[in-house]
Amino acid sequence: MSNENKSIHEFDFDLICEYFSALDRQGPGSPEATLKALSFIDNLTNDSRIADLGCGTGGQTMTLAQHAPGQFTGMDIFPKFIDIFNQNAKRYELSQRVKGIVGSMDQLPFAEEEFDLIWSEGAIYNIGFERGLNEWRKYIKAGGFIAVTEASWFTDSRPNEIEKFWMDAYPEIDTIPNKLAQLQKAGYVPIASFVLPENCWTENFYDKQVYAQEIFLDKHSGNTMAEELVANERREAMLYSKYKQYYGYVFYVGKKL
Ligand code: SAH
């Protein structure tokens, strides 16, 4: 594939997209964690509407749809992810109830109070936790739910190296009590929060990338940007293994008042 006519920006996106398309999930998580969060949601029927924002290729959406009734809309900004998402829905024979659309989580094309549940794993950081909670609220029915995973600190202080990494990557990372206070302030009753187990990051995310990285590097041999992308992912995995007692993803489930 020739990329000469593309801007660096587009090229970068294509590479990121290709890299993550090879994986079942584009962020840390597991079917068990998804189902645990789902166990706190008690209002779903065949008529329910559920949105999964930043759904990626839909690993968690398919798990949800296999275990909960209702109509599911997955949304992601990358068309390639949505193509794979819709192929997955077909493969799992869920196409009647599960549809992927391309769109951005900061400009939702939905009606007010359209959803019984808004879901988002490893994605709300793209617009920020507080902003997402506040802006998405109007699309949820009264008595409906929001369930998101968000990077959180486990302790009040931590070593400089990991503090600096996160301040560069996502300065909105905060402690669990502070995130819960933000959830409540945004107009939800905090129903549950739990830390995602380590295997959501290791077995299910970083370990899966090891083989994919080799293939990716082979294919893009000599491409500095591809090499940098892989080096970044490897550094992230190394930092997780070194500092995992200080941070992780936390599932936050809230009920709209
Ligand atoms: N929920 C999936 C993917 C998480 S990765 C999982 O847990 O596996 C974060 C996802 O957010 C990516 O698929 C990325 O394409 C998507 N994304 C980034 N910015 C977005 C935006 N503005 N609107 C919608 N999706 C976005």
pLDDT of residue 13: 85
Tell me, in angstroms, the distance from the centre of ligand 1 to residue 81's CA.
9
- Ligand 1 pocket test, candidate residues 52, 55, 84, 102, most atoms within 8 A of CB: 55
Rg value, the chain, Cα: 18
Distance 153 CA to ligand 1 centre (A): 21
Number of helical (H) and strand (E) elements in the chain, helices listed first: 9, 8
Widest pairwise Cα distance in the chain: 54
Structure tokens at 169: 């990557």
Q: What is the pLDDT of residue 10?
A: 59
Closest to 43 (Cα-Cα) out of 195, 188, 184, 146 = 146
pLDDT score recorded for residue 12: 81
Q: How far is the CA of 216 from the centre of ligand 1 (A)?
A: 21
The class that CATH gives domain 26-197+245-256 is alpha beta
CA distance 103 to 78: 8
Which bin fits 237, alpha (ψ -120 to 50), beta or left (φ > 0)?
A: alpha
- Protein residue closest via CA to atom 14 of ligand 1: 54
For ligand 1, atom 17, which residue shows the shortest CA distance? 54
Q: Are 72 and 47 in contact (CB under 8 A)?
A: no
Q: How do 140-153 and 247-256 pair as beta strands?
A: antiparallel
The pairing of strands 98-102 and 71-76 is parallel
Residue ranges covered by each domain of the chain: 26-197+245-256
Ligand 1, atom 10, lies closest to the CA of 54
d(CA 80, CA 64): 21
pLDDT at residue 1 in the model:
42
Ligand 1 atom at shortest distance from the alpha carbon of 105: 23
Report how far ligand 1's centroid is from the alpha carbon of 148 (Å).
12
Q: What is the pLDDT of residue 3?
A: 44
Q: Is the dihedral of CA 59, 39, 148, 44 positive or negative?
A: positive
pLDDT in 10s for each residue of the chain, 257 residues: 444 455 555 558 889 999 999 898 999 999 999 999 999 999 899 999 999 999 999 999 999 999 999 999 999 999 999 999 999 999 999 999 999 999 999 999 999 999 999 999 999 999 999 999 999 999 999 999 999 999 999 999 999 999 999 999 999 999 999 999 999 999 999 999 999 999 999 999 999 999 999 999 999 999 999 999 999 999 999 999 999 999 999 999 999 98
Relative to beta strand 115-120, strand 140-153 is parallel
Ligand 1 binding pocket (C-beta < 6 A) is: 25-27, 29, 54-56, 59-60, 75-78, 81, 104-106, 121-123, 126
**Ligand 1 atom index nearest CA of 28:** 7
Stated pTM of the model: 0.94
Instruction: Give me the torsion for CA of 239, 198, 106, 230, rounded to 10°.
Output: 40
Given a contact cutoff of 8 angstroms between Cβ atoms, the answer to whether 121 and 149 are in contact is yes
Closest CA to 178 of 211, 199, 151: 151
Distance from the CA of 27 to the center of ligand 1, in angstroms?
A: 9
Distance CA 131, CA 178 (A): 15
